[in-house]
Amino acid sequence: MWRDELRGIFYIALKDMRTYYLKPPSISWGIVFPFAWILAFYLRNPQNFEQLVPGLIAMTILFSTTAAEAVVINFELRLGSLERLLLAPISMSAVLLGKVIGGTIFGLIMTVAVTLGSMVALGLFNISVLYLALIIVSSLLVFSSLGALLCVLVKEVFEAQTLLNLPRFIMVFLCGVVYPVSAMPLALQYIAYLLPLTYTVEGLRQSFSPNPSAVIFVDALVLIIFFTLFILPATKLLQRKFM
């Protein structure tokens, strides 16, 4: 049984990689948009750019995974091919998890490219690779499942991208991507700590610091809780959509 489920998750993710990664919405929202932001920040302040690197990696994770989810879920919802997967001898959770992993791998490729590029360009080699991997992977799963949760609510890719922009931009401005959370008014700090990207940025900053603290494990734990909070209702919503 679990073997069937794992096989299904693997092949759905693999098929999504082959089928959707080069679709225009994946490229524009998942690749071009994060790179444009990085370039804009670099041109504005090239001297202190290394301080922005954790935030920009976090933003890349957020945009690439959610953009990929909109494509892998909403293309199939629109064309009816998601039903094809639901007819296979696997559970609905396995189908959704396959979709989330598909988005996660797309995000991983983008994030690795941005992280390695930043490290090489800025000479940032004094980092904790294991901590960095822990935060990146848990964040990719969180935002991929957040994307899945919102994307199953609508049918069209453009509707999904529009809907996703609300949490994306709130998080970009409140979660320490550009301005440190500690520098924000107290009320906004409370809101920031309710948003998952805050823990991604904090975890990434810890990974890039010479002496990372144990806070990084709290960040990872909170991110895993967010993943559970997003994936469970996403499965329920998908079930409700079809049942």
Partner 1 sequence: MKNAIEALNLTKFYGEILAVDHISFEVREAEIFGFLGPNGAGKTTTIRILTGLSRPTSGVAQVLGYDVVSEIVEAKKHIGVVPEISNLYDELSAFKNLLFMAQLYGIPRSQRKARAEELLKAFGLYERKDHLFGTLSRGMKRALTIAAALIHNPKLVFLDEPTVGLDVVAARSLRNLISNLRYQGVTIFLTTHYLEEADHLCDRIAIIVNGRILKIDTPEMLKAIAEERPIIEISFKKASSRIIEELPRRLPELKIVATNHNKVRIYGGTPSSVLEKVLQYAKSEGNEIDKVNSVKPSLEDAFIKITGLSPTIMAVEKGGK
> What is the binding site for partner 1 (CB under 8 A)?
1, 4, 7-8, 11-12, 15, 18-20, 79-81, 83-91, 242-243
SS3 of 6, please? helix
CB of 240 to partner 1, least distance (A): 10
SS3 of 43, please? helix
CB of 110 to partner 1, least distance (A): 20
CB of 88 to partner 1, least distance (A): 4
CB of 105 to partner 1, least distance (A): 17
| Spatial distance between the Cα atoms of 46 and 122, rounded to a whole number of angstroms | 10
**Residue with smaller CB distance to partner 1, 18 or 44:** 18
The dihedral through the CA atoms of 148, 151, 155, 156 has a sign that is negative
**Residue with smaller CB distance to partner 1, 58 or 90:** 90
**Residue with smaller CB distance to partner 1, 76 or 202:** 76
**Residue with smaller CB distance to partner 1, 102 or 176:** 102
SS3 of 156, please? coil
**Residue with smaller CB distance to partner 1, 20 or 143:** 20
| Spatial distance between the Cα atoms of 39 and 9, rounded to a whole number of angstroms | 36
Angle at 226 between CA 55 and CA 216, to 5 degrees: 50
- Inter-residue contact 237 to 207 (CB < 8 Å): no
| Spatial distance between the Cα atoms of 211 and 190, rounded to a whole number of angstroms | 26
CB of 200 to partner 1, least distance (A): 31
CB of 81 to partner 1, least distance (A): 5
**Residue with smaller CB distance to partner 1, 73 or 132:** 73
| Spatial distance between the Cα atoms of 205 and 53, rounded to a whole number of angstroms | 9
